[in-house]
Amino acid sequence: MEKTVAIELKGITKVFGDVIANKNVDLELYRGEILSVLGENGSGKTTLMNMIAGIYFPDEGQIFVDGKEVVIKSPKDAFAHKIGMIHQHFKLVDVFTAADNIILGEKCPKFDVKQEAERIRAEHEAENKAFEEYKPEEHTGVLSYMKAPKFHKPSETKRKIAALPFVKLGRAMKFNWLARHRADEVQKIANKFGFQIDLKKKIYDMSVSEKQTVEIIKVLYRGADILILDEPTAVLTPQEIDKLFEVLRNMKAHGKSIIIITHKLNEVMEISDRVAVLRKGEHIATVNTSETNEQELTEMMVGKKVSLNIDRTEPHDAKDRLVVSGLTALNEEGVKVLDDVSFEARSGEILGIAGIAGSGQRQLLEAIAGLYKVKSGEITYNDPNNEDKPVDLRSKTPLQIRNLGVRLSFVPEDRLGMGLVGNMDLVDNMMLRSYRKGFMFLDRKSPKKLAETIVEELEVVTPSTHTAVRKLSGGNVQKVLVGREISSAPTVLMAAYPVRGLDINSSYTIYNLLNEQKEKGVAVIFVGEDLDVLIELCDRIMVICAGKVTGVVDGRTANKNDIGLLMMGKSSEENEAADNETQAIKEDGIDE
Amino acid sequence: MSNMKNSARTLKEAKEPLFHLVKRQQISTGKAWAIRIGTIIFSILFISVLTSIVFRESPFEVIKYMFEGAFGTNLRVNVFFRDMSILLIIALAVTPAFKMKFWNIGAEGQVLISAYLTIVCMYYLGGKVSNGALIVISLLAALVGGMAWAVIPAIFKALWNTNETLFTLMMNYIALQIVLFSIKVWMPAGSGQLAPLPYGNLPHIGGGDYVTSIIVAIIITLFLFVYMRFSKHGYEVAVVGESQNTARYIGINVPKIIVRTLALSGAICGVAGFLIAAGIDHTVSIDTVGGRGFTAVLVSWLGQFNPLAMTVMSFVVILLTIGTTNVMVNSGVANDFFAEVSTGVAFLIIIICEFFIRYNIKFRKRVENDHPAVPDNQQQAELQEGGTAHIEDENEIGSEEVE
Amino acid sequence: MIAAFLKSAIRLSATFLFGSTGEIIIEKGGHLNLGIPGVMSVGAACGCIAEFYMVRAFGTSAPFMLLAIPILVTLLTGALMGLLFSFLTVTLRANQNVVGLAMTTFGVGLAGYLITKMQSQNFIIITRASKFYLNLFNLAGNDNWFVKIFLSHGILVYIAIILAIVVQIILSKTRVGLNLRAVGENPATADAAGINVTKYRYVSTCVGCAISALGGLFCIMDYMGGNWEYILEGYGWLSIALVIFTMWRPALAIPGSFIFGGLYILSSYIDGVTFAQMEIINILPYAVAIVVLIITSIFGKKNVQPPAALGLSYFREER
């Protein structure tokens, strides 16, 4: 089969401020193939794809669809070229059914009065003719008279035709009826590609994977031939991933071209025909999946093997500081988000928590901090200031925990939505932790001093300590937050994705801060997504999958492969078996 | 909301309309207030012109009459500041709740019920206890009434997130019906109006009923200023208003703060009601508050919750009310409603002005990309690896407006 | 007695029904318009003034003009108020609560001003037109209880009910309804789907305000028999409360407004209550509104919640 080019990118460059997101990228996508776009976080994959989907407009370069140069300035333009993108954040109306979401905003066919009049006339004539030829005696049965043709008087035909301009007006104002069986129409498309989904279900009753399916069907329903999926597997369980891949293959068989953005090598190998690798905004190479292996891809992706060089000291005098046992918690829908989680965090040690995003990391930390309702299980803190006397933290409010003398610091994932108040300045944000001191009135002096110290020591770039934190960049916001949390001399420090969205320098600042705390004897809990960092930084790594602990490994001996499998919910025995048998997934196989 | 982007916009220039709006990055407080004061002066002038057209007087005459009506005689000055004080007190009362994003539009009912309870005390206890004791008792009753009317919706808001806007609104009408009921009990026949009661009236300071209100208003203004800015309570209110998540994160008991703040709101409304009933009217009717509860909401909001700015706003509102009434008296037209119209128009003008403080209109030109492109929160997420990692650490002060 | 009570309840309910049908349209598009009392007042005032000039011009000889022109003027006035609201909240991005309250102050004041001004003339003549509102399609005189209760009303009562049903159908069964609901639930999604959020919000607010304004005209010309009273502000607020009572469904607003209407006039139909006791009974509609508010907030499921984006402005640039 001869391959025809669906999309071609030539010399695409995109600059944000001083930062080059994409530099002179050339890329080709053929009809009926699945192309993986592979790259690490920050390599410019999503930016590149957003330019095809009309979210951004390239600064330089050309885009060709079917060999013709096109200008894509908005998602609408992209659709006109039959390009559809499924973003990580779903755009769905919660209270609508899946089918209604899919048909939302669909273009209605043009209504032509003349044509419609012709149609009615012809229809009536045909039926009148049938009426004349109809012999009632030939048709028996109860419902026969319902099926019998009816006679249309000329006046009726005339009336109907005269009404057409008003129908047109109604159509123009979109008073079109929603077909009672609109779900069936959509269902046909779903069936064609093998989606299994109840389209009459409301979105708020759906799982993430179902929502994703709805998004994909929506794009297909609009007639897209080229689909771009932005990290579709990040939020899915292994079974759901299998299902998704099956559907993708099905779509490929129907001649659709698919681009899948990912940084998971095993998926690349499994699903794609070709792989385009991006590194730091540049296109490194595009290779056929069958002619490459994970080792090669990894090298292309990361370039030279980079050693992170995080200084890891041996923990000394590690004592169980925080002991969690049998922790179970339910979400609003009554689904277990934490399922019998047990572990201990030790003083002078960094405990890493690895897992696919949304496996219960947030709930775990919030439960410990007293922010998430626990159904069963124990959270015990051994107070170092009181001869390690155990203190029960379960179902305590953050204030009660504080009042028990527990020095628990928490850097939440949502920095400006939870950890800090965006509209307040640095000083007032420092005060969040300390304002209760004193009588009636606020003491702004010591928070100001603290803010100044943090600005100086962590090199926070800000015009003054009276600037609203929302005006700072992500890295600086994080420094402010971590700085504040560390300043209260904690004995337990929990940090959720503390380096997300940060550049290398800021990230290292954070790693160093965590290490410093560890050396001070603090029990540090670090929820991360980059396995390389987890392995180099943490003393032990706990892996969770769908709210369950699937294993705890030693950071000094662990490899990415083992952790990756644990993240998928496979135990280490299966793990080894898998290793021995297939050698399918090699070291560095799974990123994140 | 509102993170107006200049960033990625320049790239989409091609499809931009003739002009676009750019959220002002940093407008100095001074400049913002200069615009506001300018708008207020403009709105007074505008209404003068409007009045002059409606009543066929020259605008200068109108302005003269307006100020004469407000400050023409000693008595007028006193009445002016008294009315302004009452309005200001009610506006101050709703402010802490607003700061907490609790849309209490029930000030009308809160003030009415406390004025009513004051009169109840005066009616039933008048002559039986000493005047001093009566004043204390009725003040307490007023405080309790105002607090109850504010706290009841607050409790439901705190526990079940019941819509407070409509709840407080309905409470207004319940208060109104209770007043109607009592008046009919007290005055089964006749005019249906309760004559001023001679008991438990506040003593006149300086020979009139004005000074007390003014003093109380000043005290409450100062109190609230300090409370909101320097007290722990005020800080907690601000945090809850900005983000309930953050509040819970640092261990604030959010329901408690909501109820406590509304209790304060209600109590201040109680003071206002008490001043109206015991200090000024000595009676109660369904017109006792006369829409001042709603006006106060707008005063508080358009004064940016700043007690000083609210003072200015109350000044303007009362000036327009008294002023336009005086214009009418002088031109021989009796129409009580014109004052309300002019206040409404003034509010609308000031609302429009707020827009120009927040946004700059930029006409379409290839604006040089003076603000580094930094995606807002959501885009950042979408962009997770769109190079943001590199951008992040630049200092984008003033380029990123995330609210 | 009961028949008379039910009849009055239904008659009054048309005011609430117009008001809440209008507000539902507005809220479905994501706008919380607290200016309805103002809209109803101004709409009614302008309609009555139009009526005044019509009566003066035609006497009572041209029923069509006496009906059509004031109704048209009322609709137009309402739509203009809606335009003002949308302009301030959509284009100038002002807070919806503040604009709504300011519009109520402005609207109630303007209505009062206009009416006071008119009353210096022979404004009372508009009562003569009242019978046309009352008599058209009115089957009073028939002894059948059904006809007595349900079919002996003025034309606007029927229009209110039909309108509520039509709006319900449009909202739930047509594409424009689907689009509007999407705009109120998740404007960003609607925008991405190619729906013009600004247009939908402008149009829905104008249409909704026009319908609400008609409630004001009905109240004065039919229910009050052409006598102007300053009661529309309260009715406006109750209409807004009714929207919650009906869980954003115009079809439910029909029985809902019957109940509100019944509660509102209940006190006059109970034997042996004093005037004072009547005032206590008059608390009922407000108390019931509060109770419903509380119940829906405690037990409310996803599908009885307000539109998710209610009260929030949407600006595309903030995607």
- The mean pLDDT of chain B is 81
Q: How far is CA B77 from CA B74, B87, B220, in A?
A: 5, 15, 21
Smallest CA–CA distance, residue C303 to chain B, in Å, is: 16
Number of CB atoms found within 10 A of residue C311's CB: 19
| Pairing label, strands A34-38, A60-65 | unpaired
Counting Cα atoms < 13 Å in the Cβ hemisphere of C223 gives: 26
pLDDT beyond 50 at B370 = no
pTM of the model: 0.83
Average pLDDT over residues C71-81: 96
Both tokens of B176, joined, read 């109104």
Smallest CA–CA distance, residue A94 to chain C, in Å, is: 8
The answer to whether C110 and B341 are in contact (CB under 8 A) is: yes
Average pLDDT over residues A198-209: 86
Identify the pLDDT of residue C254. 94
The answer to whether C251 and C29 are in contact (CB under 8 A) is: no
pLDDT beyond 60 at B33 = yes
Percent of chain A with pLDDT over 90: 14
Report domain extents, chain C.
2-318
CA C289 to CA A477: how far, in whole Å? 45
Phi, psi at residue B106, to the nearest 5°? -105, 20
Three-class SS of B358-381? HEEEEECCCCCCCCCCCCCHHHHH
Confidence band for A501, pLDDT divided at 50, 70 and 90: low
Tell me whether residues B184 and C274 touch, CB distance under 8 A: yes
The answer to whether C31 and C96 are in contact (CB under 8 A) is: yes
pLDDT beyond 80 at A519 = yes
Average pLDDT over residues A71-81: 85
User: pLDDT (tens digit, 9 = 90+) per residue, C90-147?
Assistant: 988 888 988 999 999 899 999 998 998 888 888 888 888 888 888 777 777 777 777 7
Confidence band for B369, pLDDT divided at 50, 70 and 90: very low
Among the partner residues B230, B372, B386, nearest to A442 by beta-carbon distance: B230
Among the partner residues A423, A435, A506, nearest to B232 by beta-carbon distance: A435
Which of C1 and C225 is assigned the larger pLDDT? C225
Average pLDDT over residues A588-592: 40
Average pLDDT over residues C169-181: 91
Question: What value does the CA radius of gyration of chain A take, rounded to a whole number of Å?
Answer: 30
CA A43 to CA A55: how far, in whole Å? 18
Which partners does chain C have (≥3 C-beta pairs < 8 Å)?
A: A, B
Q: In this structure, which amino acid lies at residue B99?
A: K
Among the partner residues C112, C234, C240, nearest to B337 by beta-carbon distance: C112
User: pLDDT (tens digit, 9 = 90+) per residue, A301-353?
Assistant: 766 545 566 778 888 778 888 999 999 998 876 778 898 999 989 988 999 99
Residue with tokens 């806007």: B165
pLDDT beyond 50 at B12 = no
Identify the pLDDT of residue A304. 56
Q: How far is CA B310 from CA B64, B210, C104, in A?
A: 25, 19, 20
Confidence band for B277, pLDDT divided at 50, 70 and 90: very high
Total residues belonging to chain C: 319
pLDDT beyond 60 at B15 = no
pLDDT beyond 60 at A146 = yes
Among the partner residues A45, A56, A370, nearest to B385 by beta-carbon distance: A45
User: pLDDT (tens digit, 9 = 90+) per residue, A288-297?
Assistant: 988 888 778 7
The answer to whether A365 and A412 are in contact (CB under 8 A) is: yes
CA B268 to CA B147: how far, in whole Å? 8
CA–CA–CA angle B234, B235, B241 (5° rounding): 90
ipTM surpasses cut 0.90 = no
Question: What value does the CA radius of gyration of chain C take, rounded to a whole number of Å?
Answer: 20
CA C269 to CA C261: how far, in whole Å? 12
Helix residue ranges, H only, A138-235: 144-147, 154-172, 182-193, 208-221
CA A482 to CA A472: how far, in whole Å? 14
Smallest CA–CA distance, residue C130 to chain B, in Å, is: 25
Q: Give buried/exposed letters for B71-103 (b at 16+ CB in 10 A, else e).
A: eeeeebebbbbbbbbbbbbbbbbbbbbbbbebb
Smallest CA–CA distance, residue C95 to chain B, in Å, is: 9
Percent of chain A with pLDDT over 70: 90
Identify the pLDDT of residue A582. 42
- Residues forming a β-bridge with A19: A16
Among the partner residues C174, C185, C305, nearest to A93 by beta-carbon distance: C185
Q: Which of A112-121, B205-214, C179-188 has the highest mean pLDDT?
A: C179-188
Which of A564 and A62 is assigned the larger pLDDT? A62
Report domain extents, chain B.
75-318
Identify the pLDDT of residue A555. 84
Average pLDDT over residues A505-519: 86
User: pLDDT (tens digit, 9 = 90+) per residue, A181-200?
Assistant: 777 888 888 888 888 888 88
- Residues forming a β-bridge with B63: none
Disruptive mutation site among A74, A100, A174, A211 for chain C (greatest number of C CBs within 10 Å): A174
Residue with tokens 């005269």: A162
User: pLDDT (tens digit, 9 = 90+) per residue, B148-205?
Assistant: 999 999 999 999 888 888 899 899 999 999 999 998 888 877 677 888 888 778 877 7
Q: How far is CA A157 from CA A121, A125, A171, A486, B311, in A?
A: 7, 9, 20, 82, 72
Identify the pLDDT of residue B362. 64
Pick the residue from chain B with its C-alpha nearest to A397: B251
- The mean pLDDT of chain C is 88
Task: From B99, B275, B265, select the one nearest B168 (Cα to Cα).
Answer: B265
pLDDT beyond 80 at A465 = yes
Q: How far is CA B289 from CA B107, B274, B293, B338, in A?
A: 9, 11, 7, 18
Confidence band for B363, pLDDT divided at 50, 70 and 90: low
Confidence band for A528, pLDDT divided at 50, 70 and 90: confident
Tell me whether residues A412 and B249 touch, CB distance under 8 A: yes
Which is it for the CA torsion A531, A532, A535, A537, positive or negative?
A: negative
pLDDT beyond 80 at B346 = yes
Rounded to the nearest 10 degrees, the angle between the axes of helix B337-358 and helix B292-302 is 20
Confidence band for A270, pLDDT divided at 50, 70 and 90: confident
pLDDT beyond 50 at A592 = no
Taking the CA atoms of residue C82, residue C84, residue C90 and residue C91 in that order, the dihedral angle to the nearest 10 degrees is 150
Question: What value does the CA radius of gyration of chain B take, rounded to a whole number of Å?
Answer: 25
Smallest CA–CA distance, residue C148 to chain B, in Å, is: 32
CA B345 to CA B339: how far, in whole Å? 10
| Pairing label, strands A226-230, A320-330 | unpaired
Tell me whether residues B294 and C105 touch, CB distance under 8 A: yes
Number of CB atoms found within 10 A of residue B379's CB: 23
Third-level CATH fold of B75-318? ABC transporter involved in vitamin B12 uptake, BtuC (1.10.3470)
Q: Give buried/exposed letters for A58-90 (b at 16+ CB in 10 A, else e).
A: beebebebeeeebebebbebbbebbbbbbbbeb
Identify the pLDDT of residue B14. 42
Average pLDDT over residues C24-39: 93
Smallest CA–CA distance, residue B403 to chain A, in Å, is: 7
Among the partner residues A96, A174, A204, nearest to C175 by beta-carbon distance: A174
Which partners does chain B have (≥3 C-beta pairs < 8 Å)?
A: A, C
User: pLDDT (tens digit, 9 = 90+) per residue, B241-251?
Assistant: 998 989 999 88
Disruptive mutation site among C260, C318, C319 for chain B (greatest number of B CBs within 10 Å): C318
Average pLDDT over residues C263-287: 86
Please check whether residue C249 touches A, CB under 8 A.
no
Residue with tokens 């400006």: A416
Identify the pLDDT of residue A568. 67
- The mean pLDDT of chain A is 83
Which of A142 and A207 is assigned the larger pLDDT? A207
Average pLDDT over residues A384-413: 85
Which is it for the CA torsion A289, A292, A294, A300, positive or negative?
A: negative
The answer to whether C89 and C313 are in contact (CB under 8 A) is: yes
Q: Lowest-confidence range among A246-250, A333-337, B337-341?
A: A333-337
- Which of the 8 DSSP states describes residue A74? S
Q: How far is CA A351 from CA A318, A344, A450, in A?
A: 12, 9, 28
The answer to whether B258 and B158 are in contact (CB under 8 A) is: yes
Both tokens of C176, joined, read 């424009």
Which positions in chain C touch A100 (Cβ < 8 Å)? 178
Which positions in chain B touch C186 (Cβ < 8 Å)? none
Task: From B398, B379, B399, select the one nearest B388 (Cα to Cα).
Answer: B379
The strand order across the sheet containing A349-354 reads: A408-411, A492-496, A523-527, A349-354, A540-545, A548-554
CA C28 to CA A246: how far, in whole Å? 39
Tell me whether residues B235 and A369 touch, CB distance under 8 A: no
Identify the pLDDT of residue C318. 41
Average pLDDT over residues C5-29: 93
Class of domain C2-318 (CATH, top level): mainly alpha
